[in-house]
Amino acid sequence: MTVTALDPRTALVVVDLQAGIVAAPVQPHPAADVVARSTRLADAFRERGLPVVLVRVSFAADLADVVPGRTDAPRAGAARPQGWDTIVPELAGHPEDIVVTKHNWGAFHGTDLDVQLRRRGVTQIVLTGVATAMGVESTARAAHEHGYHVTLATDAMSDLDPETHRNSVERIFPRLGETGTTAEILELLAKTHG
pLDDT of the residue at 80: 67
**Residue 75 belongs to some domain of the structure:** no
pLDDT tens-place string over residues 25-83 = 999 999 999 999 999 999 999 999 999 999 999 865 555 566 666 666 666 555 566 78
The model carries a pTM of 0.93
Cis peptide before 131 (omega within 30 of 0): yes
Whether residue 170 lies inside any domain: the answer is yes
Number of structural domains, the chain?
Answer: 1
8 Å CB contact between 138 and 57: no
Residue 74 included in any domain: no
Distance CA 123, CA 104 (A): 24
Task: Give CA–CA dist 141/108, Å, rounded.
Answer: 10
CATH number at residue 27: 3.40.50.850
Q: Which residue segment(s) compose the domain that 139 sits in?
A: 10-61+85-193
Q: Is residue 138 part of a domain?
A: yes
How far, rounded to the nearest angstrom, does the alpha carbon of residue 27 sit from its chain's CA centroid?
16
The pLDDT of residue 98: 98
The pLDDT tens digits of the residues spanning 159-193 come to 999 999 999 999 999 999 999 999 999 999 999 99
